[in-house]
A and B are shown apart, each in its own frame.
Chain A
Amino acid sequence: MKLVSAVIKPFKLDEVKVAAREVGVSGMTVSQVRGFGRTGGHIEIYRGKEYEFDFVDKLQVEIVTTDELADQVVDAVSNAARTDTVGDGMLWVTDIEHVVRIRTGERGETRRPSTLSDSSGDRTKEEYL
């Protein structure tokens, strides 16, 4: 099992979600985070005084996936999150020792089929664009 973690621009979340579902991802976890990278922070001016905001608002998306799917998920997420401007964020993949589904107690790869086609009310990527 692999954990795909991506720090992305907040307004890209919906596109990342749709793209991940299209390659068969059935769930993800999102957190509000702040950080800086090569681009640093930004300046805001209040009452004539400049304030440096070092940390920029980002979202961290975490997707647990099978080893076979991992590459496709990485491509889908990074393509969807890309704006080709500075501050697009970063993505990394880590190995997971094992996974437990809390309700059923199932361990290891659960291999649930993607539910994209039947249960999702979300618009597809094409409808967004």
Chain B
Amino acid sequence: MLFAATNLPYPSWLNPADNTWQLVAATLVGLMSLPGLAVLYGGLVRKKWIVNTMMMCFTGFALTLVVWMLWGYNMAFGPQAHFGSTGSFWSGFIGHFHPIASAFSEQGQAISGANTLIPFHFPTATLVYFQFVFAAITPLLFLGGLVGRLKFKAWLLIVPLWITMVYCVNAALLWGGGFWAQKGAVDFSGGYVIHLSAGCAAFVGAAIVGPRRWQDRENAFPSNLMMVAVGIGIVWLGWNGFNGGDPFYAGADAAAAVLNTNVATAVGLLVWMFMDMLFTKQKKPTFLGALNGMLCGLVAITPSAGFVNGTGAMLVGLIASALVWVAWNYLSKVRPFSKVDDALGVVYTHGCAGLIGGLLVGILADPHMIEYGVVGKIYDGAGSFSVAGWFYGHSFHQLWEQTIAAVWVICWTSAITALIFFVVKKTVGLRESDEVLAIGDLAIHEEEAFPEPTFGEPVGTPSHSHSDNV
């Protein structure tokens, strides 16, 4: 023994490996937002919208953390407020509005209604931060449907309202030990709470904000594919924290979730690319197409990463990528999808993929994949937790629970998002004026992504201005 137990610089309930992994995983997830999504979106929008889009990513992240500290965390993950009789829907609706303020509320042992089986071995501050980075990425995801016309001030109002009224409620119900969690619905890392919800919010929000200018839609080609590569590369590898962190123990299921996540993503990327090569008019593999498939794999494996085995993970990538490819190419041409300007296609790569992944839990979950605890005599805790899908449990029970939870997330998110957007529309307004939209970044921020004096000071002769490269 290296130290006598009493000399350890932390309390007996704290496991340094668990705490370390949880903080590393949280940081990886944070990197998916900043700079991941900021430069990914910056690369996908037109040059004149880069600064505005990145600014919304950074402010959305910051606003969410403030809300999270003041009331968001305890509303989603604190003790249930019990608005109704025990066991009723309102009893398991949300927690109390209570800030993370005292020393104990940061350094005390983390407790969550989501995990009653065995205790967490890290402090509350770790759990608050870990859950924050998930909350923060969600508005950034639905931002993808709104870029290129959403008013900046509207965004500053939408984020706190949406986190409070939509995210915290869904998180409490599915993760915070709320009603749907009690019923048995599972969402490993946020296929429903994050991706399905973001897809619905993007679609409803885009419908209410209205489309981009027709000139901008005609010329909506991306500004920089290398920035897209940087951003989405961080998103892929950041997902190791996203799914690898959600067992809350640096154990076997964390490792399995990381591996499953990556193989589903690889399959998703390849499936979309081959479908592009086989079934499109041009029959060409496109980079941005492959990335869509990659994202479908990531999103679809999210609700099941630690519940399915390797075969299941590959099937998730295959099914999700193929179905979303069909939705992207055909569903987008029929109403109401053809009428809503979801700028970056969030409803497909996040909404559809999240829904498909959540339902696949009810089919592919392997009961031998243990999320908490271990099987056998060496472990004397409260027991282990795993989920059985139809393939293994020969019962549609889990699929039914997953379906009900999905219907709830779609309805609640869509209705409350619509309410928030209408309120903001009546107060500060949702759209920039057409004169501002024609100019973009310079009109809103007095900044542009690639400032360069036209006359005067020499700007050098970088290699990209060589005649062969124009």
Contact = CB atoms under 8 A, between A and B. Distances in A.
Interface of A: 10-11, 13, 30, 32, 44-49, 51, 57, 59
Contacts of A46: 220-222, 286, 288
A32 B466 CA distance: 10
A32 B465 CA distance: 9
Residues of B in contact with A, size category: 10 to 19
B219 interface: yes
Contacts of A47: 222, 286, 288-289, 292, 345
Given A47-B289, A47-B292, A47-B345, A10 B467 contact: yes
Interface in B118-160: none
- By Cβ-Cβ distance, the 10 closest A-B pairs, closest first, are A13-B467, A51-B221, A57-B470, A47-B288, A46-B221, A10-B467, A10-B470, A32-B470, A46-B222, A46-B288
B468 A11 contact: yes
A43 to B, nearest CB: 9
A48 B328 contact: yes
B468 A10 contact: yes
Contacts of A32: 465, 467, 470
A41 to B, nearest CB: 13
Contacts of B286: 45-47
Given A47-B289, A47-B292, A48-B289, A30 B467 contact: yes
Contacts of B7: none
B325 to A, nearest CB: 9
A11 B328 CA distance: 38
Contacts of A48: 280, 289, 328-329
Interface string B310-353: 00000000000000000011000000000000000100000000
A46 B280 CA distance: 13
A47 B328 CA distance: 9
A55 to B, nearest CB: 12
13 contacts: A10-B468, A11-B468, A13-B467, A45-B282, A46-B221, A47-B288, A47-B289, A48-B280, A48-B328, A48-B329, A51-B219, A51-B220, A59-B470
Nearest to B328: A48
A35 to B, nearest CB: 13
Nearest to A53: B221
A7 to B, nearest CB: 13
A57 to B, nearest CB: 5
A9 to B, nearest CB: 10
A57 B284 CA distance: 24
Contacts of A45: 282, 284, 286
Contacts of A10: 467-468, 470
Nearest to A59: B467
Contacts of B328: 48
A49 B468 contact: no
Contacts of B468: 10-11, 13
A45 B218 CA distance: 12
Nearest to A17: B467
A47 B468 CA distance: 27
Contacts of A57: 470
Nearest to A12: B467
Interface in B278-312: 280, 282, 284, 286, 288-289, 292
B317 to A, nearest CB: 20
Given A30-B467, A47-B222, A51-B218, 19 more contacts: A10-B467, A13-B467, A13-B468, A32-B465, A32-B467, A32-B470, A44-B221, A45-B284, A45-B286, A46-B222, A46-B286, A47-B286, A47-B289, A47-B292, A47-B345, A48-B329, A49-B220, A51-B220, A59-B467
Nearest to B468: A11
Contacts of A30: 467
A94 B99 CA distance: 78
Interface string B365-399: 00000000000000000000000000000000000
A79 B24 CA distance: 63
A64 B375 CA distance: 87
Interface string B446-470: 0000000000000000000101101
Nearest to A46: B221
Interface string B73-112: 0000000000000000000000000000000000000000
A59 B222 CA distance: 24
A47 B292 CA distance: 8
Interface string B158-184: 000000000000000000000000000
